[in-house]
Amino acid sequence: MRNLEIASIFREIATILDIKGENVFKIRAYERGAQNIEGLSESIEKYASEERLREIPGIGHDLSEKIKEYLATGRIKSYEELKKSIPEGLLDILNIPSVGPKTAKLLYEKLKIKSIEDLEAAIRKNKLAGIFGIKDKTVENILKGIDVLKRGRERMTLAQAMLIADEFVKPLGGLSEVKKISVAGSLRRQKETVGDIDILVISDKPKKIMDTFVKLPLVKDILAEGDTKASVRTKNDIQIDCRVVEQKSYGAALLYFTGSKNFNIKLRQMAIKRGLKINEYGVFENEKFICGKTEEEIFKQLGLSYIEPELREDSGEIELAEAGKLPHLISLNDIRGDLHTHSTWSDGESSIAEMAETAKTLGYSYIAITDHSESLKIAGGLTIADLKKKKREIEKLNTSLKNFRVLYGTEVDIDSKGNIDYKDAVLKEFDIVIAAIHTGFKQSREQLTKRIIKACQNKYVHIIAHPTGKLWGERDAYDIDLEEILKVAHDTNTAMEINAFPNRLDLNDHHCRRAKELGVKLSIGTDSHSITHLEGMKLGISVARRGWLAPSDVINTLPVEELLKTIKK
Ligand code: DGT
Ligand code: CA
Ligand code: CA
């Protein structure tokens, strides 16, 4: 599967075109292409071999030719030429949030800055001061941006980890010598971000597994290679650890390497209290092997009910497992609809009918089409006249759809003072209104908190979308008093969103758990901008499970009539 390689090339092309001041539509086309390819669940090779590339939203003639060229030759000629037309290293600087093409060019021309290291050195030596257009505030923002970028590079998003892990688990799992294979570590715990990927295999022929593992196509370097374990670095600089164990120790190894570290430590202490020893090989009593084949039997031996990997953080789950009182966690099957999606009416790639069709194939019984509101011009916000047409289109579609309903929605902008973009008379026409902040992230904590609280108090706002505004690798959460907001959300019957878009996952797991404690309802929305994003729901479910949520805590597990009743203020 070469989806990620191609998507990253398209992103670079977009950036280079941006530096060169090319047409914005052309730039957007590459960005959109990249985004849609990243969202695919099938391999791009499969699309190509079946001549279906143009079925991918945002992939037209030009982009599909480039994909074919890459798959056939391993390169894209026009991309390589494009890369030569700008100074080397400039692209890296542009990855810093807040540094645009103009600043990057200025830095290169005045100070010969070609890398993030050059830039950091220049800032340390105070060389940026006095350059036209660069203020103290700009330097401060650049430093913040470098920090966000570096943290983003240390850990990948859960979505990236899932895709990359698949590139290893699928081919290894296909070997006849492999009896069982699983991911472990933070990926199995479904953490929002993952440091390195851990893979565990049962086999009697570890050598064969090791040999195959270190030679898989995505591998760039071998970091370590032994008889039963190896570590490699992938072409996109991700570390993968693979271990082979015997069947009788599989459960013990899976438990150990799933972690978390704190969870393991607590478990070991519990074992000691029972006169047992636990390690990655099994549970022992005075050196005598008691069990180790499955996690279930180990938990049982320790007097615990089974603890789902998402809960293994030593934050109270072990005590509850001892008392047999663990919460029943939500799963993807519980979801009946998506409450945050965009269509071609605003900045989406797919029509309402296409979104509804795909939602049906996912087993949903409804989808809310929540396009942007009027003031968000950059994202194609809808005017009042557009809204009327969109509403009619949905009504018409609903008459032809069986056992499925399209909800007429909006993602309305919360302005800098907390006012809602549309008037009440317009708002009350919607089935569902989600409100979000898209501008003015740098306001004070008080201002930002007040804005969201005011939105919660609006009679027509049902959900606050991506409440903290975090974008992994691009932007930190803005500064809000979430505790205060959650209290108001509870009092005003406003749901808080878990935005399932891969680099958002906001609210996060801790926030969800607190929201649940305060009796606040949650909603999971994918923020899909095309049909290929709708499957992102699974990422929102990961957050919800890590946040201890049950189906009853999440409003889009409800049938549509109950949902509409529940959200009413
Ligand atoms: P990551 O990779 O930073 O996202 O987080 P993890 O949890 O995947 O951590 P990693 O890859 O260093 O180790 C995988 C698991 O192995 C970890 O969750 C628990 C176990 N483990 C690693 N080091 C230790 C340790 O020093 N003590 C104990 N008890 N367990 C450890
Ligand atoms: Ca790991
Ligand atoms: Ca590891």
> Over the stretch 62-91, which tens digit does the pLDDT of each residue have?
999 999 999 999 899 999 999 888 887 788
Of 261, 270, 312, 546, the residue with max ligand 1 atoms within 8 A of its CB, to mutate for a pocket test, comes to 261
Phi, then psi, of 127 in degrees rounded to 5: -80, -15
Q: Could you read off the pLDDT of 233-255 as tens digits, one per residue?
A: 998 889 999 999 999 999 999 99
Annotation: CATH topology of 156-245: Beta Polymerase; domain 2 (3.30.460)
Q: Token pair of 555, please?
A: 């409003």
Q: Which CATH number fits domain 250-323: 3.30.210.10, 3.30.750.210, 1.10.1760.20, 3.40.50.300?
A: 3.30.210.10
Q: For a pLDDT cut of 70, what percent of the chain falls above it?
A: 100
Closest C-alpha to ligand 1, atom 14: 185
The CA 185 to ligand 3 mean position distance, Å, reads 7
Q: Which of 449, 452, 402, 410 is nearest to 428 (CA)?
A: 410
Question: DSSP secondary structure string, 120-132?
Answer: HHHHHTT-STTST
Q: Could you read off the pLDDT of 103-137 as tens digits, one per residue?
A: 888 888 888 888 888 999 999 888 888 777 777 88
Helix (H), strand (E) at residue 410? strand 405-413
Q: Rounded to whole angstroms, how far apart are CA atoms 449 and 467?
A: 10
Q: Which of 320, 366, 332, 364 is nearest to 551 (CA)?
A: 332
Helix (H), strand (E) at residue 256? helix 250-258
Q: Report which ligand 1 atom has the smallest distance to the Cα of 194.
A: 4
CATH 1.10.3720.10 assigned to 3-154:
no
Q: Could you read off the pLDDT of 474-530 as tens digits, one per residue?
A: 888 999 999 999 999 999 999 999 999 998 999 999 999 999 999 999 999 999 999
More confident residue, 163 or 264: 264
Of 186, 193, 197, 272, the residue with max ligand 1 atoms within 8 A of its CB, to mutate for a pocket test, comes to 186
What would the mean pLDDT of 434-444 be, rounded to a whole number? Answer: 94
Closest C-alpha to ligand 1, atom 31: 261
**In 504-544, where do the E strands start and end?**
522-525
Claim: this prediction has a pTM higher than 0.75: yes
Q: Sign of dihedral through CA atoms 92, 93, 99, 102?
A: negative
Position 310 scores a pLDDT of 98
Residues within 6 Å of ligand 1 by CB: 185-186, 194-196, 198, 256-257, 259-261, 264-265
The CA 154 to ligand 2 mean position distance, Å, reads 12
The CA 163 to ligand 3 mean position distance, Å, reads 17
Distance of CA 100 to the CA centre of its chain: 24
What would the mean pLDDT of 330-337 be, rounded to a whole number? Answer: 98
Q: Rounded to whole angstroms, how far apart are CA atoms 162 and 179?
A: 21
Closest C-alpha to ligand 1, atom 10: 185
Position 150 scores a pLDDT of 87
Q: Which CATH number fits domain 332-567: 3.10.110.10, 3.40.50.970, 3.65.10.10, 3.20.20.140?
A: 3.20.20.140
Position 283 scores a pLDDT of 97
Q: Which of 467, 431, 430, 432 is nearest to 452 (CA)?
A: 467
User: Residue 262: nearest ligand to its CA?
Assistant: 1
Other Cβ atoms closer than 10 A to 189: 23
Beta carbons within 8 Å of 168's beta carbon, 6+ residues apart: 197, 199, 213, 216, 218, 240, 242
Other Cβ atoms closer than 10 A to 40: 18
The CA 260 to ligand 1 mean position distance, Å, reads 6
Question: DSSP secondary structure string, 146-210?
Answer: HHHHHHHHHSEEHHHHHHHHHHHHHHHHTSTT-SEEEEEHHHHTT-SEESSEEEEEE-S-HHHHH
What would the mean pLDDT of 207-226 be, rounded to a whole number? Answer: 95
Distance of CA 401 to the CA centre of its chain: 31
* Cis? peptide before 507, omega within 30° of 0: yes
Of 257, 265, 314, the residue with max ligand 1 atoms within 8 A of its CB, to mutate for a pocket test, comes to 257
Query: Per residue, what are the HEC states of 327-371?
Result: CCCCCHHHCCEEEEECCCCCCCCCCHHHHHHHHHHCCCCEEEEEE
Q: Which of 471, 463, 470, 566 is nearest to 522 (CA)?
A: 463
Q: Rounded to whole angstroms, how far apart are CA atoms 255 and 261?
A: 11
The model's confidence at residue 368, banded by pLDDT at 50, 70 and 90, is very high
Length of the chain in terms of residues written = 569
The domain ranges of the chain are: 3-154, 156-245, 250-323, 332-567
What would the mean pLDDT of 207-225 be, rounded to a whole number? Answer: 95
Q: Which of 396, 390, 397, 350 is nearest to 374 (CA)?
A: 390
